[in-house]
Amino acid sequence: MRMVDLINKKKSVETHTEEEINFIIKGMLDGTIPDYQVSAWLMSICFQGMTFDESAMLTQAMAKSGDMLDLSVLGNNIIDKHSTGGVGDKTTLILVPLLAAAGFPVAKFSGRGLGFTGGTIDKLESIPGFKTSLSNEEFLNQVKEIGAAIASQTANFTPADKKMYELRDVTATVNSIPLIASSVMSKKIASGANIIVLDVKCGSGAFMNTYEEAKKLTETMVEIGKRSNKLMSAVISSMDQPLGNSIGNGIEVFESIQILRNQGAEDLKELCLYLGAAGLVKTAKVKNIEDGKKYLNKFIENGQAYQKFVEMVKYQGGNLEYIENPEKLYETGFAFTLEAEDSGYVEKLDALTAAKASKLLGTGRDKKEDSISYNSGIFLNKKIGDKVYKGDVLAKIFANSVEEGQKARKTLFEAFKLSKQPVAQPDLIIETFGVSS
């Protein structure tokens, strides 16, 4: 087999066989196929696409390129969830202890963030002492013992995805539905769960800006999962405004703790319960989403989900003083408020602009090596649809310098738009796939 012929094949919109895809992934990793040929092939996929079967074969080859976690010792109702990432998205921090408290163990690999705010791992690292780097053995033992663990991916996890992403990043080939879908799903499949819940974000603060793109990505990931014998549920959720009230790292842990203590933003809680219920429906524990939400909510109300979070933090070495007093997670030297200049209703709270304001506080990174601020961030007091009076505090900004705080405040001002007319609260869940309600 020659790589040049395979590039030509994709360029001519022909379909690859499993053998051909395995040949490419193996050659890419052992160096027998040079980066320039892999790059040309990736570019041809960008233009010509891939069938669902090809995408599933590519996903399998990528998943099997490194360690595959075997979670069968935990039972056969193992739920994993993946969010395509958005502003203020802290659902993993809530869902993992919630499902574990409800009797469904979760072994969750998460990532650091690139862009405006950190990823789940950055957020957890804002808790002093919290250890995110676990060996596969430590990770599994923890889930066996307490039912919940969140850790960063180990060095030999989906190396094919790492290599392909590096090439895609510098060859303008990130933005391809089959490549994104196989990248995400390879990590899900190597993580070993048999039930996968996807939360595909759509809107200004998401990877997928339009509904059409989000739908295509969701369908592709669901089809890949089904071809890999996974039980799949998915939702498309809105990312036109930030999720919940906080944006940052430590401050998002604070808000997660609020939800787990049965306080905090309704939209965030609703999405967590929905995603959890979408997983439970696949276990046959509940009949439908409403039953699943009610079932899970009991574990928030009786404090067991919060206790599970505390147990997980303790197990992973985190300082519990910061969990008991979570305000400490966003203590900074300087705080600013953004007030409404007029009365009205919040018509717009643009997620991307709010994320840019947060980035000015140091909450995100441009390159993997960049350092990140754990304590700075934004707390939104008003969201779309809320009534405001002139002088009301729209948001609070927690900064490590006056200059950063003032710049963030100026940008955040641009994110808000008020209307004189009442504004309806937007739907958070736009569409569902494979979820009976």
Query: What positions carry a catalytic annotation?
Result: 82, 161, 168, 183, 187
Using the Cα atoms of residue 326, residue 328, residue 332 and residue 336 in order, give the sign of their dihedral.
Answer: positive
Shorter beta-carbon distance to ligand URA: residue 50 or 184: 184
Rounded to a whole number of angstroms, the minimum distance from the CB of residue 428 to ligand URA is 21
- One DSSP character per residue, 34-91 reads -HHHHHHHHHHHHHH---HHHHHHHHHHHHTTS-----GGG-S--EEEEE---TT--H
Q: Is 239 in the site for ligand URA (CB under 6 A)?
A: no
Q: How far is the CB of 248 from ligand URA (least distance, A)?
A: 21
Under rule CB under 6 A, which residues in 153-182 are in contact with ligand URA?
165, 174, 179-180
184 scored as a contact of ligand URA (CB under 6 A): yes
**Which of 68, 94, 74, 67 has the alpha carbon at shortest distance from 83?**
94
Alpha helices in 156-302 (DSSP H): 159-170, 177-190, 211-227, 250-260, 266-283, 289-301
For ligand URA, the closer CB: 176 or 245: 176
Tell me if residue 332 falls in helix, strand or coil: coil
Q: Which is nearer to ligand URA, 201 or 269 (CB)?
A: 201
- Tell me the three state secondary structure of residue 145: helix
- Asked whether position 246 contacts ligand URA by CB under 6 A, the answer is no
Residue 341: alpha-carbon gap to chain centroid: 34
The smaller minimum CB distance to ligand URA, of residues 99 and 179, is found at 179
> Would the CA dihedral through 324, 244, 309, 359 be positive or negative?
negative
Closer to ligand URA by CB, 166 or 290: give it.
166
Residue of 302, 311, 68, 299 whose CA lies nearest to 188: 68
Nearer to ligand URA, 85 or 105 (CB): 85
CB of 177 to ligand URA, least distance (A): 10
For residue 113, what are its two tokens?
């963030």
Q: Give least dist CB 111 to ligand URA, A.
A: 7
Select the residue interacting with ligand URA from 55, 126, 132, 183 (CB under 6 A): 183
Q: How far is the CB of 211 from ligand URA (least distance, A)?
A: 18
CA 62 – CA 57 distance, rounded (Å): 9
Q: Which residue number places its CB atom closest to ligand URA?
A: 183
Closest separation between CB of residue 266 and ligand URA, Å? 28
Measured between alpha carbons, how far is 348 from 42 in angstroms, rounded to an integer? 38
CA 420 to chain centre: 35
CB atoms closer than 10 angstroms to residue 201: 25
> Where along the sequence are the contacts to ligand URA (CB under 6 A)?
165, 174, 179-180, 183-184
